[in-house]
């Protein structure tokens, strides 16, 4: 169970989630977990919104992503402080994370149309053969706490640009970040239901993946979490993208400046904290 997460469980399900500051133990905020009925309503809204969003021009999607970048920069201090309170990120790193999220929105705002163009391929003289990029539908993103904004935006920006809609199951110690990200897209002018946060427990994830209205799922987390998600998604023949944990060897050559090498190694290890609690 991640630090900063205090669930109240009644009859086997989360009722409220207390977000607590890991440095002080003080309660940051309290959130109501979604009931099964509320979860179903959000999935239905995502499904309905997708039918509209998939027909929205890529140019409008790009404009809305650009607006999301503006919202992020306008609220930079607020979002950075929220990250620091909920999961303990140093404030300087938190500011940088917000800026990186604004950058990725701007990147797809600039390049989405180019990336989504049909690609004509060689074929018989009497045929026209091409590769076309079509949106899938609602996609569930299961994200970790260590980069609570960036991990979400690097999923959300390209998927929204491509015409998909997003459902976020964030780590349970950063519910405030999950709601704040949902609000960013709302304030930027995205249609209601284009991107929603689900405040649910890990035991409810399989139900979401198995829902016929869901088209795919992506996870950043541990090998164990990846296996569980891949097994469920595979049984439903749904597309998955998994980024799983691991520790690569750190090779130090004889001519390396040892003091700088040690400092770099320590910083790198801390920056890629294990996301083993991403389903938390």
Inside any domain, residue 57? yes
Q: Of residues 6 and 130, which shows the higher confidence score?
A: 130
Inside any domain, residue 124? no
Could you count the other beta carbons within 10 Å of the beta carbon of residue 37?
7
* pLDDT the model gives residue 14: 52
Average pLDDT, rounded, for the chain:
90
* pLDDT the model gives residue 15: 66
> Any idea which residue has 């409220």 for tokens?
16
| Across 149-161, average pLDDT | 98
Q: Which of 202-211, 232-241, 268-277 has the lowest mean pLDDT?
A: 268-277
Question: Which residue segment(s) compose the domain that 66 sits in?
Answer: 5-117+129-271
> How many residues would you count in the chain?
280
CB 29 within 8 A of CB 19: yes
- What does the radius of gyration of the chain's CA atoms come to, in whole angstroms? 20
Q: Which of 3-12, 48-57, 82-91, 225-234 has the lowest mean pLDDT?
A: 3-12
The residue among 5, 36, 4, 6 whose CA lies nearest residue 206 is 36
The answer, yes or no, to whether residue 74 has pLDDT greater than 60, is yes
Q: Of residues 277 and 2, which shows the higher confidence score?
A: 2
Q: Classify the C-alpha dihedral 232-237-241-242 as positive or negative.
A: positive
What is the domain-level CATH number for residue 235?
3.40.605.10
**Residue 226 main-chain phi, psi, to 5 deg:** -65, -40
* pLDDT the model gives residue 154: 96
> Any idea which residue has 């959300």 for tokens?
156
Question: Rounded to an integer, what distance in angstroms lies between the CA atom of residue 113 and that of residue 117?
Answer: 6
pLDDT in tens, 107-141: 999 999 999 999 988 878 888 898 999 999 999 99
Inside any domain, residue 80? yes
Inside any domain, residue 88? yes
Split at pLDDT 50, 70, 90, the class of 84 is very high
Inside any domain, residue 276? no
- pTM of the predicted structure, to 2 decimals: 0.86
Inside any domain, residue 245? yes
| Across 40-67, average pLDDT | 98
Question: Rounded to an integer, what distance in angstroms lies between the CA atom of residue 146 and that of residue 127?
Answer: 50
How does 234-272 read in b/e, with b if 16+ C-beta sit within 10 Å? eebebebebbbbeeeeeeeeeeeeeeeeeeeeeeeeeee
Token digits of residue 44? 């239905």
| Helix or strand (DSSP H, E) at 268 | helix 258-271
| Across 22-42, average pLDDT | 91
pLDDT in tens, 235-248: 999 999 999 977 77
Inside any domain, residue 279? no
| Across 140-155, average pLDDT | 96
Inside any domain, residue 44? yes
Please give the full DSSP string across 108-164, using - where no structure is assigned.
HHHHHHHHTS-EEE---TT--EEE------EEEEEE-SSSTTHHHHHHHHHHHHHT-
3-state DSSP call for residue 252?
A: coil
Split at pLDDT 50, 70, 90, the class of 272 is low
Question: Rounded to an integer, what distance in angstroms lies between the CA atom of residue 4 and that of residue 79?
Answer: 17
How many domains is the chain built from?
Answer: 1
Split at pLDDT 50, 70, 90, the class of 278 is very low
Split at pLDDT 50, 70, 90, the class of 274 is very low
Token digits of residue 150? 């960036």
pLDDT in tens, 36-48: 999 999 999 999 9
């Amino acid at each position: 169970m991640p630090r900063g997460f205090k669930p109240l469980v009644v009859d086997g399900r989360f009722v409220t989630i207390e977000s607590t500051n890991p440095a002080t133990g003080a309660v940051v905020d309290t959130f109501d977990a979604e009931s099964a009925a509320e979860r179903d309503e959000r999935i239905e809204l995502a499904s309905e919104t997708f039918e509209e969003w998939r027909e929205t021009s890529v140019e409008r999607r790009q404009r809305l992503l650009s607006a999301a970048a503006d919202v992020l920069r306008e609220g930079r201090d607020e979002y950075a402080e929220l990250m620091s309170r909920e999961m303990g990120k140093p404030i300087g790193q938190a500011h940088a994370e917000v800026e990186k999220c604004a950058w990725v929105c701007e990147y797809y705002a600039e390049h989405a149309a180019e990336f989504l163009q049909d690609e004509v391929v060689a074929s018989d003289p009497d045929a026209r053969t091409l590769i076309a990029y079509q949106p899938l539908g609602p996609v569930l993103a299961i994200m970790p706490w260590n980069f609570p904004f960036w991990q979400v935006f690097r999923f959300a920006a390209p998927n929204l640009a491509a015409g998909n809609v997003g459902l976020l199951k964030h780590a349970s110690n950063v519910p405030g970040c999950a709601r704040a990200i949902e609000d960013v897209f709302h304030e930027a002018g995205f249609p209601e239901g284009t991107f929603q946060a689900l405040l649910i427990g890990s035991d409810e994830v399989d139900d979401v993946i198995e829902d016929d209205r869901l088209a795919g799922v992506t996870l950043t987390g541990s090998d164990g979490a990846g296996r569980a998600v891949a097994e469920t998604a595979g049984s439903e023949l749904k597309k998955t993208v998994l980024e799983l944990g691991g520790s690569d060897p750190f090779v130090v050559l004889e001519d390396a400046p040892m003091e700088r090498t040690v400092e770099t190694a320590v910083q790198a290890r801390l920056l890629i904290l294990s996301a083993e609690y991403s389903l938390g």
